Chain A
Amino acid sequence: VVDVASATPVEVIEPPDTSGITPDFPPDYPALPDLPSLPGSVSDPEKFRFTVVVIDAGHGGKDRGACGRGGLCEKDVVLEIALGLKKLLAKRPGIKVVLTRTSDYFVPLKERTAIANHANNGLPGDVFISIHTNAHKSQKVGGFECFYISDAIDPDAEATAVFENAVINLEVDDEATRSALTPILWDLQFTEFVSQSSELAALTQQELADRLNTRDRGVRQAQFIVLAGVAMPSILIEVGFISNRIEESKLKTADFRGKCAEAIAEAVLVFKRRRDEMSRTMGRKTQP
């Protein structure tokens, strides 16, 4: 298979580096640009190409996340995995990586979803990956698991608004048609996101199972705020229990963190190949 994407230059977009300034102060993001109109015609396969991966390292700054008895804290572990994952993905052709935080500072949940929803030149990214470490008050509980959003719930208002803006760009002049169309289109789109999120969660869980020798806890659905707020397929990965002595010591090692990053990168690349293949098929079908 010839990868058409290999011609695209690699580009990594990051929020400005605020490390070493004030760790607990929210970074000064550039103002979010107005939504531009969608480039190309509907039959333009480039429009559907999968390029922007949003990586969300959980917690940060004053929010330490869960901490182990040995003193290791979630915010540090997940940042390193996120940076490792960025490194692995950014060197691949046709992938742009956007991080919701690049060092140890606090980012509110709503800001994380806003970054993701504007990650692709003001439009939503193609996939959202939130990385966390798990915890339970029982020290015996352990293992890794992937979550995707419950299909039984309504998406967050913000995700819906982002989608509505995109629909407005679709040159539907008639206000009545547009307002009638939007909820139906969004419903279809959300269903598609849930199905793709489920697929990515399964892929990631399998890649982690191939590399980690901790308990495979399987894939679950949950109404997590960051997943409900993004207008794209999304998963939340819990790589291990920091509250479990043995897993805390594993989470300290570069080896374990590297394996986590590698597993997630591999899952994202398989997911991208499948999406790109779908776009090509769609492009062929819609072209005369």
Chain B
Amino acid sequence: VIRQRSVKIALVAAWAVAVVLLVGVGLKLFNELVLTPDRIAPGTRPVVSREREKRKIDIFFADENASMLVAEKRSIMLGAAIPADAKALVAEIIKGPESDTLLSTLPGGVRLLAAYEVGDTLVLDFSNELQTNHSGGSTGELFAVYSIVNTVALSLDEVAGVRILVEGMEVETLAGHLDLTRPLSIDLKLLERPRRQTARSSDYAG
């Protein structure tokens, strides 16, 4: 009986050791795989090697009715730091379209004062002309903002969101419509014609 008991005790002890070991290994793995990257590099991303090269880039402008964004191809030297690349891209948008059938999207006299990264958000700080020389109207606002956001975020993979400031300050909107209080991401719907209406023929009737 005593022998049987000691075997039982040994089994229980072995079981306990196994559990402790498993939990330990689990915690160690958890630490390494989940927690460590954040601890080592708070707020930075893995470094992607960026080669300095001329690239064919889509710069977005409004079509002649300002009903969609249309790309114009430009050859631009990229591969410097992200803010420097963003400055080169915005400079092309400010220059305006080469094609007669496209419309420029930014108000006259506007300059990009600064560009910097906060995590994967690119902050673009414009001169006050972005607001004061703006024509107003939601279409003018939408195309000004998304010609910038789409051009920059589609050409620079590292940029997930674009935050627009005016003279270093947060602005609610450019002219009373579009929310600029948070980062904006690519809007692909503006690259298509808006949908035509079929409200009458819709089979939705409650």
Contacts and interface: CB of A to CB of B under 8 A. Distances in A.
Contacts of A25: none
Contacts, number: 131
A147 B138 contact: yes
B184 interface: yes
B46 interface: no
Nearest to A228: B179
Interface residues of B, number: 38
Interface string A147-191: 100100000000000000000000000000000000000000000
Interface string B146-165: 00000000000000000000
A199 B203 CA distance: 12
Given A203-B199, A218-B196, A137 B138 contact: no
Interface stretch (B50-58, B60-68, B78-86): B60-68
Contacts of A147: 138
A100 to B, nearest CB: 13
A66 B175 contact: yes
Interface size grouping (class) on chain A: 35 or more
Nearest to A243: B135
B66 A136 contact: yes
Contacts of A221: 189
B94 interface: no
B202 interface: yes
Nearest to A275: B206
B3 interface: no
Contacts of A91: none
Given A203-B199, A224-B138, 9 more contacts: A133-B137, A135-B140, A137-B140, A140-B65, A141-B64, A202-B199, A218-B67, A241-B139, A274-B205
Interface of B: 62, 64-67, 103-104, 107, 135-140, 142-143, 172-173, 175-179, 184, 187, 189, 193-200, 202, 204-206
